[in-house]
């Protein structure tokens, strides 16, 4: 009897909650994280920040690590969230290129990849950044970009390496999510 193929979980983009969607896509679970849990992590980081700025009327919405209404969480929230799940984040040294990443993962150290890429929206009027998760499910790497209507399965290691090199060349960041705590 052939083993049943696992369905790939994929959340779609809503507002600026791409980090929330990326984390749920990375962990392949609908509520691995919620808006409330990420907001709580961001608030905790605000309280721990030794360089905390003074209160202004705008600071009710625009916090140090996120926007209360739309999301738009920063790297500190990503790292704290991943560490809560017993994983760790390693910033990939872009000088090495994507070929230095062990995508075959025979030792299962690499859990997944999170990308932070520059984006232009609204006919190029708005520039920002977007979080994207890549994860291997049933030995196939998938691009789980929440802007996509469905997960995109990479055909082979060469295709994902070429994609990651493209991310580097356009100013994107590659964050490796590793199994095992810090």
**Annotated catalytic sites, by residue?**
18, 130, 145
CA angle 120, 135, 114 (to 5 degrees): 45
Number of helices (H) and strands (E) in the chain: give both, helices first.
Answer: 4, 6
Which of 34, 15, 14 minimizes the C-alpha distance to 77? 34
Cα 22 to Cα 151: distance, rounded to the nearest angstrom:
12
Which of 35, 8, 10 minimizes the C-alpha distance to 146? 10
């Amino acid at each position: 009897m052939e083993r049943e193929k696992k369905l790939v979980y994929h959340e779609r983009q809503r507002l600026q909650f791409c980090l929330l969607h990326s984390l749920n896509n990375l962990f392949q679970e609908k509520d691995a994280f919620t808006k409330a849990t990420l907001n709580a992590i961001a608030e905790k980081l605000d309280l721990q920040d030794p360089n905390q700025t003074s209160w202004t009327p705008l600071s009710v919405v625009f916090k140090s690590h996120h926007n209360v209404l739309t999301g738009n969480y920063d790297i500190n929230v990503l790292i704290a969230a991943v560490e809560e799940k017993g994983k760790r984040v390693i910033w990939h040294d872009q000088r090495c290129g994507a070929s230095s990443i062990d995508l075959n993962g025979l030792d299962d150290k690499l859990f997944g990849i999170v990308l932070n890429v520059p984006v232009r929206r609204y006919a190029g009027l708005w520039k920002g950044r977007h979080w994207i998760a890549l994860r291997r499910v049933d030995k196939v790497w998938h691009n789980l970009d929440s802007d996509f209507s469905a997960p995109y399965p990479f055909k082979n290691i060469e295709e994902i390496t070429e994609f990651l090199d493209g991310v580097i060349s356009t100013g994107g960041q590659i964050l490796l999510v590793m199994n095992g705590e810090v």
